[in-house]
């Protein structure tokens, strides 16, 4: 692979870590996130990592839950940063074979804003790309990834090839990603499969995000909610629209 001095300056990425551990406690997922964010930063991408549990994000499926009974809700401010992002990565641990409650909360709040429209009249996440990073010491990496990537594409994100990576230890109670072993090395950090997939995911996210940004996003013809609501229903019997 030839180094072409790739420059992705101007792209922004936002990563949500669904760990159940508040800062400054250690998050194993942060270690896997760092593989991806180090690559992005090296090539000019502006990166923000948000540990969801550190924020007062209300539960619900409306853009601002303060308008629906919540006393406080940080999501509207966080969503402003999501709007600016070209890349969205959902990361987190496996609990009971599924995504953590914090990852689920972010999916729900992203969904809450999915009916909002961009400047072209498309749904809000059109033109963004999505990826997934999963850690755990029990089964469920692919199950969790299917949920996160399906959710992101349903909301309007584009999913590039191989847009996920994960690490799973021995099933059952055992070491987590990055734990120090008896010989002083750290569990999973030298796993070639995980490192390769995290690298492929990151490059594919950057490549596709730049392609979309340079092209002005997804073409708006045929997918504008505003046109549909305005009564400009497509006549699907007309070959022009097929």
Is this prediction's pTM over 0.75? yes
pLDDT at 191: 82
Strand partners, 131: 89
DSSP state, residue 186: B
pLDDT at 190: 81
pLDDT at 239: 60
SS3 label, residue 241:
helix
Share of the chain above pLDDT 70, in %: 92
Q: Copy the structure tokens of residue 238.
A: 């007309």
**CATH code where residue 173 lies:** 3.40.50.360
Q: Is residue 122 part of a domain?
A: yes
Taking the chain (242 residues) in runs of 10, the rounded mean pLDDT of each run is 79 98 94 96 98 97 96 98 98 94 98 92 95 89 96 97 90 75 78 91 98 96 78 58 51
Q: Is residue 3 part of a domain?
A: no
Q: Is residue 219 part of a domain?
A: yes
For residue 24, whether the previous peptide bond is cis, meaning omega lies within 30 degrees of 0, is: yes
233's CB contacts (< 8 A; 6+ apart) are none
Q: Is residue 16 part of a domain?
A: yes
pLDDT at 228: 73
Q: Are 162 and 154 in contact (CB under 8 A)?
A: no
Q: Which helix (H) or strand (E) holds 16?
A: strand 12-17
| Helix residue spans in the chain (DSSP H) | 28-42, 75-84, 101-112, 141-155, 192-214, 225-229
Tell me which residue range forms the domain holding 188: 12-241
SS3 label, residue 135:
strand
Q: Are 109 and 117 in contact (CB under 8 A)?
A: no
Q: d(Cα 203, Cα 160) in Å, to the nearest integer?
A: 10
Q: Is residue 155 part of a domain?
A: yes
- Number of structural domains (the chain) is 1
């Amino acid at each position: 692979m030839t180094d072409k001095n790739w420059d992705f300056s101007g792209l922004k990425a936002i990563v949500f870590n669904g760990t159940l551990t508040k800062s400054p406690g250690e998050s194993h997922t942060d270690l896997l996130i760092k593989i991806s964010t180090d690559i992005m930063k090296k090539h000019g991408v502006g990166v923000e990592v948000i540990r969801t549990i550190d924020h007062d994000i209300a539960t619900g499926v409306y853009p601002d839950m303060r308008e629906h009974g919540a006393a406080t809700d940080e999501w509207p401010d966080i969503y402003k940063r999501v709007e600016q992002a070209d890349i969205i990565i959902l990361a987190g641990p496996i609990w009971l074979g599924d995504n953590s409650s914090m990852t689920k909360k972010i999916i729900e709040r992203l969904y809450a804003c999915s009916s909002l429209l961009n400047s072209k009249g498309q749904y809000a996440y059109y033109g963004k790309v999505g990826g997934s990073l999963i850690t755990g010491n029990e089964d469920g990496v692919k199950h969790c990834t299917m949920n996160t990537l399906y959710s992101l594409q349903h909301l309007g994100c584009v999913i590039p090839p191989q847009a996920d990576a994960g690490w799973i230890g021995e099933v059952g109670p055992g070491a987590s990603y990055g734990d120090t072993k008896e010989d002083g090395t750290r569990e999973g950090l030298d796993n070639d499969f995980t490192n390769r997939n995290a690298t492929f995911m990151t490059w594919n996210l950057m490549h596709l995000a730049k392609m979309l940004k340079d092209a002005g996003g997804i073409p708006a013809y045929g997918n504008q909610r505003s046109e549909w609501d305005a009564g400009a229903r497509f006549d699907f019997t007309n070959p022009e629209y097929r």
